[in-house]
């Protein structure tokens, strides 16, 4: 969430940035709410000042009973007015904050300006896209021929866009998750396994609520997590962290649940876009002055997984119209899929600056000098997939498929599969 005082002071810049995001914001309503808060605050402060002056008058009026009676009446009237105006200020601030819950983050100056995903910028590529001397099959055909993906059974159980892993497919999914967790831990992340159900307050803290509530699955008063970013970021909700402990880095494994899967009408076959999938998530809390260096490091941490698996990929900087609601900057990692003959997203790595921290009240206490103790500041939060497990499995099936229908297991994964080197229809 943005700071309404900062928005008011920089309204022209904010309007320009929101236009670049193609965000339709009612700025007249914002001005109305902000002016209402300013008016109520001015009246509150004026009446409170008068109240203090009258209170001081008790000292001189103590010997005059008539004056004391009049003073008490005036003070009672002022006290009632101050209480009412204080309530009006609180309500005005709440209305402003509620308005800003629907306003996205300000894009960082380094974000490319664009009107659609066509304006995203490829920053770099790694590895050569695979080519075969046979027709490359899409992952669902490879998986079905191997007997490790059963989409028909999944549909019978749960409906469209679910997946059932079988045999070596189930083992491969679990092996990938453990491999990703291990790599992240070696790079300084603390492993966590978070709950899959979270409160509305947690969803609001990371930006899913209230704007995207229809995209979420709800069970009673709790929400199924759309990503481990939600519970992990909220580990430190309403806390003040010590500067000496920053950055704090977590790696989490969880299932993710999303209603909107496949809404764009692309990649709806197979398991690239499903309503339930597994993901390893990287989450960071850091000082504001460090967050863009930490963002680059976060991307490098996610890239390391793809390099170790020897999967060709590219890094893409999303433009202003394509970055997520809460992000100030976002890089996507896109892996090469021979079956689709295209690059597809496998990780999004975002810097949210203090947007989430302000919503979730996550601050840190700067180190002071001597007896001087600076005021707490909001941390910056970052997160990225490290990686989407199912999509990584897709990339392995398509990039490591063989002419005989088998799939070679990437060397880095073999220790997690008991030394298995190849998955074949007879495995």
The 3 state secondary structure assigned to 246-276 is CCEEEEEEEEEECCCCCCCCCCCCCCCCCCE
Residue 261: predicted pLDDT: 53
Of 254, 291, 348, 350, catalytic: 348
Which of 28-37, 64-73, 169-178, 361-370 is least confident?
A: 64-73
Residue 224: predicted pLDDT: 98
**What are the distances in angstroms from CA 137 to CA 305, 404, 427?**
24, 12, 19
Structure tokens at 91: 């309500």
Residue 208 has pLDDT above 60, yes or no: yes
Average pLDDT of the chain? 93
- Residues 101-158: pLDDT tens digits? 999 999 999 999 999 999 999 999 999 999 899 999 999 999 999 999 999 999 999 9
Residue 406 has pLDDT above 80, yes or no: yes
Of 21, 161, 258, 329, catalytic: 258
Which of 19-23, 32-36, 170-174, 423-427 is least confident?
A: 423-427
Residue 269: active-site member: no
Question: Fold for domain 4-100?
Answer: Helix Hairpins (1.10.287)
Query: Which of 236, 237, 224, 162 lies closest to 195, judged by CA?
Result: 224
Of 21, 161, 273, 358, catalytic: 273
Residue 329: active-site member: no
Structure tokens at 173: 């999914």
CA distance 67 to 60: 10
List of E strands, 68-195: 121-126, 190-192
Where do the domains of the chain lie? Answer: 4-100, 117-423
Residue 391: active-site member: yes
Q: What is the mean pLDDT of residues 226-250?
A: 98
Query: Which of 244, 245, 274, 250 lies closest to 260, judged by CA?
Result: 274
Of 74, 84, 304, 345, catalytic: 345
Residue 376 has pLDDT above 80, yes or no: yes
pLDDT confidence bin for 49, thresholds 50/70/90: confident
Residue 74: predicted pLDDT: 75
**What are the distances in angstroms from CA 221 to CA 199, 215, 218, 225, 281?**
7, 15, 7, 13, 25
Give the max Cα distance, the chain: 106
Q: What is the mean pLDDT of residues 33-40?
A: 94
Beta-sheet pairing, 222-224 with 218-219: antiparallel
- Residues 242-260: pLDDT tens digits? 999 999 999 999 999 999 7
Residue 227: predicted pLDDT: 97
Residue 424: active-site member: no
Structure-model confidence comparison of residues 68 and 301, the more confident one: 301
Residue 369: active-site member: no
4-100 and 117-423: identical CATH topology: no
CA distance 277 to 217: 14
Class at the top of the CATH hierarchy for domain 117-423: alpha beta
Query: Which of 52, 179, 142 lies closest to 424, judged by CA?
Result: 142
pLDDT confidence bin for 51, thresholds 50/70/90: confident
């Amino acid at each position: 969430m943005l700071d309404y005082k900062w928005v008011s002071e920089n309204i022209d810049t904010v309007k320009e940035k929101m236009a670049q995001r193609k965000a339709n914001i009612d700025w007249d309503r914002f001005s109305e709410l902000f002016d209402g808060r300013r008016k109520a605050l001015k009246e509150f402060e004026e009446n409170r000042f008068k109240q203090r002056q009258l209170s001081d008058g008790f000292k001189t009026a103590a010997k005059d009973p008539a004056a004391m009676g009049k003073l008490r009446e005036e003070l009672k009237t002022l006290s009632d007015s101050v209480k009412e105006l204080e309530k009006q200020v609180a309500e005005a601030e709440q209305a402003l904050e509620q308005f800003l819950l629907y306003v996205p983050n300000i894009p960082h100056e380094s974000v490319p300006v664009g009107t659609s995903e066509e304006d995203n910028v490829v920053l770099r590529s790694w590895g050569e896209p695979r080519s075969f001397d046979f027709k490359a099959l899409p992952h669902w055909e490879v998986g079905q021929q191997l007997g490790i993906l059963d989409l028909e059974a999944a549909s019978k159980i749960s409906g469209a866009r679910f997946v059932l892993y079988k045999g070596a497919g189930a083992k491969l999914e679990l092996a990938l998750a453990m491999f990703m967790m291990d790599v992240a831990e070696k790079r300084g992340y603390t492993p966590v396994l978070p709950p899959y159900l979270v409160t509305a307050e947690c969803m609001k803290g990371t930006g899913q609520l209230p704007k995207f509530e229809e995209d979420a699955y709800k069970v009673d008063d709790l929400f199924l997590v759309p990503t481990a970013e939600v519970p992990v970021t909220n580990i430190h909700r309403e806390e003040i962290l010590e500067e000496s402990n920053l950055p704090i880095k977590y790696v989490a494994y969880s299932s993710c649940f999303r209603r909107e899967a496949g809404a764009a009408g692309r990649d709806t076959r197979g398991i690239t876009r499903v309503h339930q999938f597994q993901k390893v998530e990287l989450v960071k809390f850091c000082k504001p002055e460090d967050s863009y260096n930490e963002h680059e490091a976060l991307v490098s941490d996610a890239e390391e997984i793809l390099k170790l698996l020897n999967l060709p990929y590219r890094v893409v900087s999303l433009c202003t119209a394509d970055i997520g609601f809460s992000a100030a900057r976002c890089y996507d990692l896109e892996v090469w899929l021979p079956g689709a003959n295209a690059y597809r997203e496998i990780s999004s790595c975002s810097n949210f600056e203090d947007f989430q921290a302000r919503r979730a009240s996550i601050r840190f206490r700067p180190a002071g000098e001597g007896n001087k103790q600076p005021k707490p500041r909001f941390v910056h939060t970052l997160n990225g997939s490290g990686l989407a497990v199912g999509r990584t499995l897709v990339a392995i099936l398509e990039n490591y498929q063989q002419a005989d229908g088998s799939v070679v297991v990437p060397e880095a994964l073999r220790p997690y599969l008991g030394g298995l080197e190849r998955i074949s229809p007879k495995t």
